[in-house]
Chains A and B, each alone.
Chain A
């Protein structure tokens, strides 16, 4: 039996995780997005919601990090975070949960 992890991801009984929009494999239960496509761009590429350049306020690099389904390019995760630290956003559902 499969389980919807969120709007975009589905976990199957064998632990594989696929895109709900195109059924492409994007990861497994331990790392549901390990096969996803990740890009990093300047924060202001997130749109007009970012009002000023981060460099006005902070010395560390800030990035707009996006994670996409490698096939249909649906956006799976978006965060604006320091670029010099790895993403802390993870999840792992027990297989068969």
Chain B
């Protein structure tokens, strides 16, 4: 069914708003703190650095507070959250290191709240606002629930702090809120625009009930709400102490200078790079269960002097399904790449960095969709694909500079391998959890080194995988293995980092089995592209084996190590799928590695031999893709390799030994 416009939804179609415009609309409803240029100019370098680093450490403390109070493995063990400190109008002064996608549009949500909530119901000390409406901002899909809190100093709104975390279930048709059959947002979790859920330091029971009532795991979501309140409280305590020690004007002056410093230093770096344009494309296969379509996001990056323009003209229209993302998702796809590839030595102050960036995008496209398009998977679908295409474009820009090219990286793990389990756990309680094993994606290759194997995800610098034992303790499942997979890293002169697989069975649930929701594209075509002749990483691969011999194997003291040892009937799982796993069913899920860099035939043969010994590359891959012939002891047969590479160089280009077309 085509998306039908919803009258009134335009109020929530938020776009970044300038500080001056936000101030104009707020008017006298809330007194916003301001600092004069003379105070900023008078800052001494030492005070600036001390306070700037304090702001950084406060965002880290917010993350610690969140982790210690949450009961969700997604947060406590996998770091799928983030925290930020913003100025009085929402410009982000410091973003935490955790999942930077999540915090990329907190500024939009805070600005919207100022513009729409300052008069009614008002913004006062002790208030906190909850938002999971990605058209407003604050997160990329409905599961990303943000909680942001105004900090008042002497009666003036001085700053905001915000915490955002992935909640494992907020309702919708499918467990985990990833409704894989969704055609629009009404299949999914209800998006909630900013509501004052904490008033004068107390949780509002009526609002909390409205929020939690939608979830299959309300107790867990309630605990996460308190964890985010705790994170904001910790930040407010620390910021109050900082203002008492140095004075609010000085702290605000530092915030202003951090924003300016980030902007100035990024502009300086951009000025060193050549002007030009780079166009790339990111595909996604399947928009919902049963769909066999392929959808593209096209990005042209134009770099002119000290400005970057990301133009998404050519991107496909929004689609019936759950893979669209809003404008907040599009920004969430850009900022993490800017931070990791260009800002290693620049303050992570998105509010300043965004000043160097222009975005051209047509509303109604898959990474700038309109209400009520389906966005349940936005964060790791079109937002992630935006990250991929931006990564390629920025890598092209950096590659043309002899020094800065050392900072580029090919696309890492082309998407999130979503596997969600739900049912009754070994303690008899209902459970829902997103398996976060694919936090161990392969990182992209670089111009001078291989990508890090199972090194993580570029957009989630602090992401991590829960221990197998933690997952088995928390949920009714038993692993057969979790391991790196050969050939999953994109071949190249420098190889992309390998991805990995997990293989498990339902275990110890009183129901016998568990419910499974899969949303894992990259099966028809790999999603992590290579650079400069480097190949893409491997494809996503998920297999469900029904009625296996696994329990007989266990009884006989055997732990199967290959799918072929398990018997049963194999089903290759499409990108979107929902089913039940029985007690003897085995699920195998294999996520992607990083893209390669440079022609694989130029890879040092000894490095290929070492990869084979380490099971990073198979013997077949070494021979067919890298052109390396190995002796029986695993060492390189140099003469045979030279000869084979010469032949392969011709044959892969479709030429015979006389350089004639093979099929001519």
Contact = CB atoms under 8 A, between A and B. Distances in A.
Contacts of A43: 525
Interface string A59-97: 110100010100001111111111001011111111001
A87 B489 CA distance: 23
A89 B281 CA distance: 7
The residue in A3, A7, A8, A49 that gathers the most chain B C-beta atoms within 10 A of its C-beta is A49
Interface residues of B, number: 68
Interface string B287-312: 00000111010100000000000000
Contact of A74 (B286, B298, B574, B599): B599
Nearest to B650: A73
B533 A97 contact: no
A48 to B, nearest CB: 5
A49 B538 contact: yes
Contact of B285 (A4, A57, A66, A77): A57
Contacts of B530: 78-79
A49 B621 contact: yes
Given A49-B621, A79-B529, A39 B654 contact: yes
B396 A6 contact: yes
Interface of chain B, helix or strand or loop or mixed?
Answer: loop
Interface stretch (B80-88, B262-270, B272-280, B457-465): B272-280
B526 interface: yes
A73 B402 CA distance: 24
A93 B536 contact: no
Nearest to A5: B400
B624 interface: yes
Given A6-B399, A81-B525, A82-B294, A48 B618 contact: yes
Contact of B575 (A50, A57, A77, A85): A57
Interface in A1-31: 3-8
Nearest to B486: A48
A58 B292 contact: yes
A58 B275 contact: no
B281 A47 contact: no
Contact of A51 (B277, B539, B650): B539
The residue in B493, B526, B599 that gathers the most chain A C-beta atoms within 10 A of its C-beta is B599
Contact of B621 (A47, A54, A59, A92): A47
A51 B274 contact: no
Given A8-B533, A78-B530, A78-B533, A85 B296 contact: yes
B188 to A, nearest CB: 23
Nearest to A49: B538
B296 A48 contact: no
Contacts of A87: 281
Contact of B280 (A37, A89, A92): A89
